[in-house]
Amino acid sequence: MFLPDGFPGQRLRVLPRPLVTSALRRPPTSGLLVTDAGYFPRAANHGRRRPEGAPEAIVIVCVDGYGRCESPGRTTVVGPGHALVLPQGRPHVYLADPERPWTIWWLHAAGTQVPELLSVITPDGCEVLVELHDAYRAVATIDDAIACFERDETTPSLISAAGAGWSLLAQLAADVVAGGRQRTEPVRQAQDYLRRNFAKPLSVAELARTAGLSPSHFSALFRAATGGGVVEYTKRLRMARARELLITSSRDISDIAEAVGYADAFYFSRQFRTVHGCSPSEYRDEHRQGGG
């Protein structure tokens, strides 16, 4: 027999259905509303059977133990560091492993923005298992949503919980786009290095060797994870620092160019214009006149 809840140490909040109906009719919660959220530690015999699916999208983050989800034509095993995402209306049965029951943080989300976010997470409209790049962040986000409802169910709390729900779905979408942790770890390390050393001469081949990869493989992974190449990523880091120096200091353009990695001030100005549509001097004048 499945137990839907009732686990020692659990936290559980479910909004009244009339409140859900009214909140989904008015902005901003019409865009995204967290309707249910909870934490079930070592949830032995936990499970739910929904032949018609749920009226909301469901996210279950597993931090310990294992569980299983069964849906038409497929079975998904859920383990630590992963999130099970079930779209609205997807028939399913999920249950804790009898020998090693899962510990989970979970929430339900509805609203007009949810399908758009799910289209990135699960393009085929089926349940999906997402490998989390930062499980602590996912748990903290769900914890924030639960805390909002533990405080009260007023409109401000609903809006705050909605922000947590949106953040969780956005994190899952970003993790899906970036790919698995094993694939993205070399990229993450390279990004950390570039953020610390963006003003130094750039060598894609050296970055690749440091990661133990060929330049072509490293470049492909970097592009897949970030949406652009290493050179473009570094240029954006340099330009971000240049904008800061232009606004907050009186340093000459040539000094700023050198500070962000460009020995040639004229080349720096051309690169700056391609990103911002104006020269460094024009940018400085505009933002100093505009104030904070």
Residue type, position 152, single letter: D
Phi, psi of 90 (to 5 degrees): -85, 115
pLDDT of residue 289: 63
Domains annotated for the chain, with CATH where assigned, are 11-178 (2.60.120.280), 182-290 (1.10.10.60)
- Is pTM beyond 0.85 here? no
Query: 186, exposed or middle or buried, with CB in 10 Å at 0-12, 13-18, 19+?
Result: buried
Return the axis-axis angle of helices 181-197 and 215-226, rounded to nearest 10°. 90
**Which of 81-85, 185-189, 274-278 bottoms out in mean pLDDT, i.e. has the lowest?**
185-189
- Mean pLDDT to the nearest integer, 216-224: 89
What DSSP element (H or E) covers 105?
A: strand 103-110
CA separation, residue 73 to residues 91, 92, 126, 127 (Å):
11, 11, 10, 11
pLDDT value at 205 more than 60: yes
- Write down the mean pLDDT value for the chain: 93
pLDDT tens by residue, 265-292 = 999 999 999 999 999 999 999 887 655 4
